[in-house]
Amino acid sequence: MKNQDHLPVFGIGPLLVAALALIAAAAVVVFHYILNFGTLNGLPGVLLRIFGLLFIITGAAVWFIGAVRSGMDDNIKENRLKTNGIYAWVRNPMYSGWWILISGVSFLWHNILLIPVVFVNWGIMTIVLKSTEEKWLKKLYGQQYVDYCNRVNRCIPWKK
């Protein structure tokens, strides 16, 4: 294979993560500060903040394992499909980690109207990944990648 026949080490990650963060930040500004509507107080607000902290910790851990502990850079450079470790749980742990973390940060504002933003960001992430990296990986790895996609979820870490 030619050297340019592999994804760049960073993929589309920085742009995608920046877009997800901007959408979440804009929603925080609009719903919490401008409209000042949907904020939960008392126990529901505290619970949403606790969930937010748990999401932040989980997202950071998923990203760290996928980005730092997985050896993914070597797989990219050597054009090998990574399917073990955290990649046996989720196909895109670095993107998923950021998505979970950004969702957690949104929950810290304890505003019920920010919950749909989690799903909007998930949808954007799914569409972008399907129309960019997944197409390229399917072309590069063929049936091996299709089989991998049938076994492992795109964005939400879990074992099937």
Q: Where are the domains of the chain?
A: 13-151
Report yes or no: 39 and 136 within 8 Å, Cβ to Cβ. Answer: no
- 16 half-sphere exposure, CB direction, 13 A CA radius: 24
pTM check: above 0.85: yes
Distances (CA, A) of 55 to 31, 99, 117: 20, 9, 14
pLDDT tens per residue, the chain (160 residues)? 444 555 555 668 889 999 999 999 999 999 999 999 999 999 999 999 999 999 999 999 999 999 898 888 788 778 889 999 999 999 999 999 999 999 999 999 999 999 999 999 999 999 999 999 899 899 999 999 999 999 999 999 887 7
